[in-house]
Structure 1
Amino acid sequence: MTPIVFGGCFGWLHPAAGNRGVVLCAAHGYEELCVHRQWGALAERLAAAGMPTLRFDYRGTGDSAGHDEEPQRLRAWIDSVHAAVRWMREQVGVSEVALVGLRLGGAIATLAAKELGDIDMLALLAPTISGRGYTREMKALAAFSPMPENAPAPQSPDDIEAGGFVLTAETVEALKRVDLRQLDGRPAQRVLLLTPADGPFEKRLAQHLREQGAEVEAGPFDGFEEFICEVHYGQRTPEAAFATLTAWLRCGAPAAAVAHEPRPIVRLELLEGAETPTFFGDEARLFGICCEPRPEVADRAAPAVIFINTGHHRHIGANRMAVTLSRRLAAHGITSMRIDIAGLGDSPAWQGRPENKLYDKAACGDVRAAMDCLEAQGHRECVLIGLCSGAYVSFYTAVQDTRVISQVMINLQRFIWREGESLTVATRTARTQVRDLGNEVTGALRRPDILLRLLKGRRREWSIVWGMARRMTDLVRARFGRTTHTLFGVEGEVARSFRLLSQLGTDTLLVYCEGDPGLVELEVHNLHRDGNRIAGLDRVAVEMIDGADHTLTMRWAREHLAGIIEAHLVSRRRPAALPAPSTPRAANWKAVEAA
């Protein structure tokens, strides 16, 4: 696959020898973040079936230019599809174009197809039929998302902040005017409609499209609920739906002699600077986006910043936070790189390492490969930024590599991760007190249904029980450790690592939201807060954000975090640029430049 840029949009071309091109129109916001890797796998599947396939980020989303609070977002998203279709025809040279839209992307694809008038095929996967219904769904998501009791009210009551993404009041009003059942004219000659439910809305849409002259094939989207969710909640590939889609798209597709791979423009010029897709690591298999400031504001003395994946999310970060922060830093003259470690986002897994593995020390090698890439460009020092599992990888990378002069660890849940632990178990066992865990275990064992599942040897229930037992052991050990540290000066592994980092001159900023379950880790590992410092460790600071949730889904919380990070980086600036190394370290990387 080849990274491309067109019309302010970032995308991937999956080349194939065929004259029917496919443009994938993604879901929006949190739903897109959940299924991004599966969406890429679908593109690979379609390309393997002989259809060159383009997937991309709409304007103001993902790695594309802009942001979600700009005006006329719906218009920008539709225009993004126009630009994608035009690029496929002009650069790849396909004679036919099919659009595939998922969720809100289905509505966007339909509206774009109707305007274009030359789309041959349109596949709608669990599409948003009514924009008014979609905005109600997003309001419900926002209302039922767990937030701290002391969280401030939304900045604008007419905006919707759902899953860390914003639909402004203007965008909401534009979406409310969308209803595919009232479309005037057919969007394409052939339409495939796959829906998780065969209700009256879906039947009415199929009937309406037929009345407009389209040939409509309707069927079930089996496995939709298991598809449109987080990986750690049991995400599964909807094999039947993807197989149906592939067969439908391939039917009657004109062939081509060879796959046409254009030399695309891939450098995205921004007001703050420029972004370049970058491959790095062994055989240049890992992927990242290098965000560089404009030459007139570039601060060569400043360390480069590396953003590490949050959970299973791709390099744009939770709530697209890494993109926003990297561009803000570019405006201050700071170079950054947002990366996908192996098996996440757009980086393939290394042989022998599973996909989507979190809290994996092997990922430290991927971060160090990104540091090699930046060092080869003249950036000898780095600051690592990670949220949750990304903070874990940051910590152990800093211990291994002295090029890390500072790290920002946000809402870390575990300093020590045991092989075989699951994220579900870790979440269930995140309790501050031994008593809390004991009460939960006792209460669970009093429930006949849970006892029955335990007696039957159900793996999930036993894993949670053993996880709670291990967590209780950690907390008891913490109390014992505090006593031995006080009496005999004995330190644990984590405290020793922080002391080593401090001796090496590496600064650490721990950022926690008040009430975050990860705060117990400080107690477990004898890291005692003394104001905004950790007692006895001069180079370890602590910042608290009151009223925010774990992934900082609210705008004000992300803005607060951005201010903390900017202040931290400014305080680490050198008085003058460091001399470039006389013999730069050889690095396995390549920046894909403009044609």
Structure 2
Amino acid sequence: MTEYAKPKVQTIPAIAHADDGAIPFWMDVEGTKVFTWYHPAQGQEKQNQAIVLCNTFGSEAMLLHPAYRQLAIDLAAQGYPCLRFDYPGTGDSQGSPRAPELLASWLRSIHHAVDFLRNESGVARVSLFGILLGATLAAHAASQRKDIHALLLWAPYISGKNFLRAVKLQSSVITANTDNIRPADWCDGDSEAFGFLLTKEFSQALSTINLNKISEAPCKQAYLFARDTSSNEAKLAKVLSELNTELTFEDTAVEDLSAITAEMQIPTAINQKIISWLQDKEKQSSTDAIQSSSDPMPLEQQYATDSFSEEVVFLDHHEKLFSIITHPPIEIGNNTGILLVNGGSNHRVGINRNYTEWARAWAAQGYTVTRMDICGLGDTPPQKGQARNTLYLDSTLEEVRVNIEHLRNTLGLQKIVVAGLCGGAYQSLRFALTSQKIDGILLINPLRFQKPLKLEDGRNTHNSVQQLIATTSFLAFVLFFINYKNWSTLKRWGRTSLSLVKHACLQLLQQLKDLAQPKKWGTLSRYNLAAKELVTLTKREIHVYILCSNTEVILPFFKAALARYRRKLNKTPYFIMEELSSTNHILSPIWSQKKAYEQLSKQLKIVTERKD
């Protein structure tokens, strides 16, 4: 067994914190700033055990972010201090996926988190929790130490090779990159994990991890949850039992992990079982004396590099809005601020960590960039009565405004650009239509352009494509079809082209019905609404840029919706629309992430250099 050598734990003050008491900061791990949330024990009863939550990786980490956050909140509420963090080169942490010895730095961050949490909370015992690859890394890190009290593992990959095989299988069914395009910095042995880079060195290092080969007990107690009856956690259960670890094994699924990840749900049953198990074991175990922590630890809530600096902020608005601001070096800063609005149901790092990487690259060019969590997403809680992970809310516009006011009034920036993917694109567009204080919007793969229609019970009616079709006039469809430039794409779209013809005919019938009823003439203004709104923005000299994957389902219908006004839009310097092939809605092929960054950067330069 390779025993971990403890580093010196640095201590520093907490300033900003969430309403639940959680404190965001960057933990220094041998010179690398690791983004961390410390959840101090809440309530009157303080437990003598703390939990480090070891993250999983890639799309799994993105989809399980709400689950990790809620478990930390639930544990802290029961008196268990917790720490959750992003590994180097992931999330909001410093570093690159190409950094040498990346896996070793991940393991060092787990070890440092254990020492940091014990020192800060003053508890005698520290345990590790993880899901999927996070569980694998937690167990492996525990095997390198002698002081981990318990392991809480849900559906661990038994080996690094198992994880890599799962990634390969997943990649084989994703056909977005039809032309097999690679970015310029692609290296021999690189691979993609659904939009995340795996270098050859990282994959080789990960392949050496095998939990079945642990030779000494990694902890005193373990609580192991199987993914389902067909998964292989029973092998690990046998290994732990043979090493005299006191084991509790849930050999049937307590929660459907696939559903949890697909819907970004909270695994309430798992959380309850973990808390009950910890409390039961607490009663059975001998009482260790609670250690006294050292002086309050000053937690580093901002840090600087040669090319940018970052800080965490909470902005007052109903609940505290959480954002991270990336600043340029003072000597190269310009007068433009960028706000990145959550894409889909994901937190501020962006799908595939694009927002984090783009923010830092743009700061190195002189821009100040805020990546925000709207209410109900990421680390900003929902407003009272609001469900988690709810997109297309009117209230989000106020949250966007609060962040923009901070950029403009507090930081003194003169020009503001709002950008986002999917749901973030929708909110960027809607905010631009309601605000005079904006200079540009960058819309990446927007799926919806208009406010969703709702029934009396509050449920949305019409999906985004149906709603766009319903507000596109027959004349717009006709103008789209007679434009010879569209003919080649009509052939490529296949059945979608037939659908366009079908809906053009339906719109003709609907408009004839409306014209036959004078009372409905006032409703004709709803036609071509998306195009009219874009024209309105360009008349206000707001720079509008739309970047769309050419496989987007809504793209043909959006082009038809623009047809009547396309000539007018093309004449103005304030409207640009471009397409990307060989990619998908979330830009998972890495080459397309880099291409999107290049295209967006060009638009930012146009806005910055434009004379008012």
Would you say 1:168 and 2:168 are equivalent positions? no
Give the Cα separation in 1 of the matches to 2:355 and 2:67: 21
8 Å CA contact 1:24, 1:56 repeated in 2: yes
- Give, in angstroms, the shift of residue 325 of structure 1: 0.3
Give the Cα separation in 2 of the matches to 1:361 and 1:142: 37
Other-structure match for 2:338: 305
Residues 542-578 of structure 1: CA distance to partner in whole angstroms, max 9, x if unpaired?
12212111111011101100001111111222489x9
Q: 1:138 to 1:193 in 2, by over 3 A?
A: same
The one-letter amino acid paired with 2:304 is: E
Q: Compare 271-280 and 219-228 and name the one that shifted more.
A: 219-228
SS in 2 for 1:36: helix
Other-structure match for 1:516: 552
Give the Cα separation in 2 of the matches to 1:429 and 1:158: 44
- Give, in angstroms, the shift of residue 336 of structure 1: 0.2
1:269 to 304, 310, 314: 304
Other-structure match for 1:243: 272
Other-structure match for 2:387: 354
1:368 to 401, 407, 410: 401
2:38 to 13, 34, 58: 13
8 Å CA contact 2:229, 2:253 repeated in 1: no
Q: 1:424 to 1:210 in 2, by over 3 A?
A: farther
8 Å CA contact 2:426, 2:448 repeated in 1: yes
1:204 to 235, 238, 241: 235
Q: Compare 221-230 and 187-196 and name the one that shifted more.
A: 221-230
Residues 359-393 of structure 1: CA distance to partner in whole angstroms, max 9, x if unpaired?
22321111001011112121233101111111110
SS in 1 for 2:62: helix
Q: 1:122 to 1:490 in 2, by over 3 A?
A: closer
Other-structure match for 1:401: 435
1:36 to 65, 68, 72: 65
Other-structure match for 2:463: 426
8 Å CA contact 2:347, 2:379 repeated in 1: yes
**Structure ranking higher on relative contact order (CA contacts 8 Å, 6+ apart):** 1
- Give, in angstroms, the shift of residue 418 of structure 1: 2.2
2:209 to 160, 178, 187: 178
- Give, in angstroms, the shift of residue 333 of structure 1: 1.2
Would you say 1:320 and 2:353 are equivalent positions? yes
8 Å CA contact 1:142, 1:163 repeated in 2: yes
Residues 105-126 of structure 1: CA distance to partner in whole angstroms, max 9, x if unpaired?
1111112112232111111111
Would you say 1:378 and 2:412 are equivalent positions? yes
Give the Cα separation in 2 of the matches to 1:357 and 1:499: 29
Residues 514-569 of structure 1: CA distance to partner in whole angstroms, max 9, x if unpaired?
222231342353356969x9345441111221211111101110110000111111
- Give, in angstroms, the shift of residue 252 of structure 1: 1.2
Q: 1:240 to 1:95 in 2, by over 3 A?
A: same
Would you say 1:389 and 2:415 are equivalent positions? no
Give the Cα separation in 1 of the matches to 2:308 and 2:527: 45
Residues 2-22 of structure 1: CA distance to partner in whole angstroms, max 9, x if unpaired?
112112111111111333111
Please show how residues 442-453 of structure 1 align to structure 2 within 5 Å.
Answer: none
Q: Compare 122-131 and 351-360 and name the one that shifted more.
A: 351-360
8 Å CA contact 2:453, 2:461 repeated in 1: no
Give the Cα separation in 2 of the matches to 1:118 and 1:106: 17
- Give, in angstroms, the shift of residue 198 of structure 1: 4.4
Give the Cα separation in 2 of the matches to 1:11 and 1:471: 53
Give the Cα separation in 2 of the matches to 1:573 and 1:377: 16
The one-letter amino acid paired with 1:126 is: A
Other-structure match for 1:494: 530
Residues 467-524 of structure 1: CA distance to partner in whole angstroms, max 9, x if unpaired?
xx99987984499889x9xxx9997332332222122221100111122223134235
- Give, in angstroms, the shift of residue 407 of structure 1: 0.7
Please show how residues 218-297 of structure 1 align to structure 2 within 5 Å.
Answer: 218-219=249-250, 220-231=252-263, 235-250=264-279, 251-252=281-282, 262-282=297-317, 285-297=320-332
SS in 2 for 1:229: helix
2:109 to 66, 80, 94: 80
Calculate the TM-score normalised by the size of structure 1: 0.82
The one-letter amino acid paired with 1:354 is: A
Give the Cα separation in 1 of the matches to 2:610 and 2:159: 57
Give the Cα separation in 2 of the matches to 1:481 and 1:371: 41
Q: 1:99 to 1:271 in 2, by over 3 A?
A: farther
Other-structure match for 1:71: 100
1:342 to 364, 369, 375: 375
Would you say 1:4 and 2:37 are equivalent positions? no
Q: Compare 410-419 and 245-254 and name the one that shifted more.
A: 245-254
Residues 152-181 of structure 1: CA distance to partner in whole angstroms, max 9, x if unpaired?
368557333122112112111112111100
8 Å CA contact 1:15, 1:261 repeated in 2: no
8 Å CA contact 1:430, 1:517 repeated in 2: no
Residues 78-129 of structure 1: CA distance to partner in whole angstroms, max 9, x if unpaired?
1110111121122232221111011101111112112232111111111111
- Give, in angstroms, the shift of residue 426 of structure 1: 3.5
8 Å CA contact 1:35, 1:227 repeated in 2: no
Give the Cα separation in 2 of the matches to 1:481 and 1:258: 76
Q: 1:201 to 1:168 in 2, by over 3 A?
A: same
8 Å CA contact 2:164, 2:203 repeated in 1: yes
Other-structure match for 1:555: 590
Q: Compare 198-207 and 116-125 and name the one that shifted more.
A: 198-207
Other-structure match for 2:244: 213
Give the Cα separation in 2 of the matches to 1:263 and 1:91: 10
Q: Compare 499-508 and 265-274 and name the one that shifted more.
A: 265-274
SS in 2 for 1:287: strand
Give the Cα separation in 1 of the matches to 2:246 and 2:59: 32
Return 5+ residue gaps in structure 1 as ranges. 435-468, 579-595
- Give, in angstroms, the shift of residue 32 of structure 1: 1.0
Calculate the TM-score normalised by the size of structure 2: 0.80
Q: 1:517 to 1:199 in 2, by over 3 A?
A: closer
The one-letter amino acid paired with 1:327 is: R
8 Å CA contact 2:124, 2:291 repeated in 1: no
Give the Cα separation in 1 of the matches to 2:554 and 2:363: 30
Give the Cα separation in 2 of the matches to 1:298 and 1:312: 31
Return 5+ residue gaps in structure 2 as ranges. 1-21, 472-498, 516-523
2:176 to 147, 161, 167: 147
8 Å CA contact 1:227, 1:238 repeated in 2: no
SS in 2 for 1:404: coil
The one-letter amino acid paired with 1:11 is: T
The one-letter amino acid paired with 1:336 is: V
Give the Cα separation in 2 of the matches to 1:552 and 1:197: 31
Q: 1:216 to 1:257 in 2, by over 3 A?
A: closer
What percent of counterpart residues are identical? 26
- Give, in angstroms, the shift of residue 43 of structure 1: 0.7
Give the Cα separation in 2 of the matches to 1:526 and 1:320: 32
SS in 2 for 1:391: helix
Q: 1:523 to 1:3 in 2, by over 3 A?
A: same
The one-letter amino acid paired with 1:573 is: T
Give the Cα separation in 2 of the matches to 1:549 and 1:225: 25
SS in 1 for 2:386: coil
SS in 2 for 1:230: helix
